[in-house]
Amino acid sequence: MRGNIILRVASKLLIPCILLFALYVQFHGDFGPGGGFQAGVIFGSAFILYALIVNIESARRAVPAVVSRVALALGLLLYAGVGVAGMFLGGRYLNYSVLAEVPTTGQHLGITLIELGVGITVAAAMITVFYVFAGEER
Amino acid sequence: MAVIGVALVRLRDLFGVVMLSGLFTLTAASLYVVMDAVDVAFTEAAVGAGIATVLMLETLALTTGREKVTRRRSLAPFLMVVVTGAVLIYGTLDMPRYGDPGAPIHQHVAPRYIEESGREVGVPNIVTSVLASYRGYDTLGEVTVIFTATAGVLALIGRSRRTRRRKGSQTTGGDQDAR
């Protein structure tokens, strides 16, 4: 699809918007619909679109497979780590109220962090699975 | 949705099947919007209609675009489907009406979540507060499932190019053996 100029130009316009929308969904999930899962999928889909339109090699240069695999584990570790941090601060596992002075602030911080972890893992999972499928040649 | 379902079964061209299944999930997503479950609809549209379709197309590119037609017609699968469908429909007969405030699911912990989440968690979207705070363990489990699934995909077909090339140079058969 290297020669298709309409697709290339349109996706060039779209991809920044998709990434921005993913970040909006990620951090606005407390107030509207959305959250880590949806944001991760949208974020990953931007890279998949890039890989489909341009080519898989440039996408691999932008996000190497190693990065997406490390991010896959990192998101889960962030989630679990927030729970452990709560334990060290004297609460129960995954109780965010102890993360800050005011319980609701702690809850807010905890939710933002674990949603970020969810988003990282989901986006990395999407990109990794896509790479794996695209890397298999016939 | 029923029409799309029947078309899915009848169609032999797998490219069309993938497109139709994407359409099916998109219809499901709009159904969720009608039922006021925006968060679920969002996920359904993004994952089901978007990513799943792309992955299915990738799989088609790896395999083949035509379904293998078997002429043999057996009664057992048909009977099984009919019985399962009948049991499922029988199960819905006992369900309370949609949106009924007296339904058991609205009597258990839901009122506490709705009344207390503003004070305890302080996040305007109750779905988020339930998902991330009250049900934090479950969400952690979900993320673990995603992680494990991806790790499984990697273990099955995700050997990196480097190892594949190394194997290819070692075996005398070359490319064919490395896969």
pLDDT tens per residue, range B24-51: 888 888 888 888 777 788 888 888 887 8
Question: What pLDDT sits at residue B117?
Answer: 67
And the tokens for A2? 């290297």
Provide the shortest C-alpha distance from residue A46 to chain B (in Å): 11
Q: Where are the alpha helices (DSSP H) in chain B?
A: 2-10, 14-34, 38-43, 52-62, 75-93, 110-120, 126-129, 136-157, 161-170, 175-178
Q: Nearest Cβ partner of B46 from A42, A94, A125?
A: A42
* pLDDT higher than 70, residue B106: no
Provide the shortest C-alpha distance from residue A104 to chain B (in Å): 5
* pLDDT higher than 90, residue B83: yes
Q: Which domain holds residue A43?
A: 5-135
* pLDDT higher than 60, residue B109: yes
The answer to whether B59 contacts chain A (CB < 8 Å) is yes
Question: What pLDDT sits at residue A37?
Answer: 82
Residue A102: pLDDT band with limits 50, 70, 90: confident
Q: Looking at beta carbons, which residues of chain B come within 8 Å of A126?
A: 51
Q: Tell me whether residue B142 is exposed, middle or buried, using C-beta atoms within 10 angstroms of its C-beta: 0 to 12, 13 to 18, 19 or more.
A: middle
The answer to whether A132 contacts chain B (CB < 8 Å) is yes
Q: What mean pLDDT do residues B102-125 have? A: 69
3-state DSSP of A66-109:
HHHHHHHHHHHHHHHHHHHHHHHCCCCCCCHHHHCCCHHHHHHH
Are the beta carbons of A111 and B132 closer than 8 angstroms?
A: yes
Q: How do residues A104-137 score in pLDDT, each as one tens digit?
A: 777 778 888 888 888 888 888 888 888 887 776 5
Q: What mean pLDDT do residues B128-133 have? A: 71
Residue A138: pLDDT band with limits 50, 70, 90: very low
State how many domains chain A has.
Answer: 1
**A79–B143 C-beta distance less than 8 A:** yes
Q: Which residue of B has its CA nearest to A131?
A: B158
Mean pLDDT is lowest, of A56-60, A120-124, B106-110, for B106-110
A 10 A CB-CB count for A128 gives: 23
**B161–A135 C-beta distance less than 8 A:** yes
A47, A45, A54, A43: which is closest to A7 by C-alpha?
A54
Q: Which of B57, B113, B119, B121 to mutate against chain A (most A CBs within 10 Å)?
A: B121
